[in-house]
Amino acid sequence: MQVTTAPQGLFEPRHWALAQGRSLTLGPSGLLMGILNVTPDSFSDGGELTSIDDASARARGFLSQGASILDVGGESTRPGADPIDATTEQARILPVFAKLRAALPNALLSVDTYRAGTAEKAVAAGAHIVNDVSGLQREPDIAHVAAAAGAGLCIMHTGRGRKKREDVIADQVAFFERSLEIAAKAGVRSEQIVIDPGFGFAKDERENFALMARIGELHSIGFPILAGTSRKRFIGHATERPTTERAVGTAATTALLRAAGVAVFRVHDVAINRDALAIADAMIAQQR
C-alpha cells in the first residue's frame, strides 16, 4: 500500500523571513512551534506557567525536545474566555520575552496576539514572529508592525464574529483573500507569510475533519501552512479522550497533515510530535 503525499514541490526548501535578520527553512522537514501560554485560563494548560522562571524552564524543555519556535501568548482564545485588556496581556508576556531573549539568545520567539500594540512591543522585546489569530482583520495595523520589523507573520483563519461560507475551503479562500490584501497594502513581503487554517476556531468536528481531509487544496493560495490542532476538541470527539490525554491524537494529525504538505505545527507536547514528524518525513524522503 502506498500512502499518498502532497506534490513533491511542497517539500523543497522555502525561505521564511523573520525579524532581526533571522530566518527558517520550510519544506524538507516539518518544524514544531512550542506553546507557552502565560495565562490562567487557556483551554488545556491555563495556570501551568505562573512565573517567568516556569516559562523559561518549559522553553528550555521544548528546545531540547526539538521545537524550532517558542510561541508566547498572554490571552486565552478558548471559546467563552474572559477578555483582557492590552495592558494585562503585555504585563504577562513582555517579561517572558525579556527573560527568553537573555537566557536563550538563539531561540526563535513568536508572539501570539491580535493586538498591534502588543505585537510592536513584543517585537521590540525580542519576538521574531507575529502570530495573529484574527488573520489581521481585528486590528489591521498589526500588518504594519510586521512589515516594519520584517517579522514572520502567521495569518490564521477564524470563523468567529463573521458569517461563514458553507464550504470549508471556499470560506478559507475568501477569508485569506481579505487578509492577504491587508498584508500587501501594509508592505508585508510574501516571504514573511505563513497561513494557518485555524482548526477549532468556530469550526465543529465535521468542519475540522473536512479541513484535514482537504488541506491540500489550500496550497493553491501559495503560502506555507502552519497547523494548530494540538489537544483540540475535535481530537477528543474522535478519540473520546479528555483535553490532557490528546497528545497521541494530536501526533496522528501532525503526521497526516505533514504528509499533505503542512510545514509548521503548533503544539503543547513537543516530544511526541517530533517523533510523529520523524516518521512522516522519513516516508516523504523515501517517496521523493
Provide the annotated active-site residues.
232, 266
Distant-in-sequence contacts of 213-219, Cβ < 8 A, 24+ apart: 214/168, 214/169, 215/257, 215/260, 215/261, 215/262, 216/6, 216/260, 216/261, 217/169, 218/169, 218/172, 218/173, 219/6, 219/7, 219/10, 219/261
With 0-12 CB in 10 A as exposed, 13-18 as middle and 19+ as buried, what is 30? buried
Q: Do the beta carbons of residue 77 and residue 133 sit within 8 Å?
A: yes
Contact between 205 and 233 (Cβ < 8 Å)? yes
Of 119, 74, 69, the C-alpha closest to 92 is 74
CA separation for the pair 247, 222 (Å, rounded): 30
At which residue does the C-alpha cell 487544496 appear? Answer: 217
Contacts of 117 (CB under 8 A, 6+ apart): 86, 90
Exposure on the CB side of residue 192, measured as CA atoms within 13 A: 27
Helix axes 141-149, 168-186, angle to 10 degrees: 60
3-state helix, strand, coil in the chain (%, to 5): 45, 15, 35
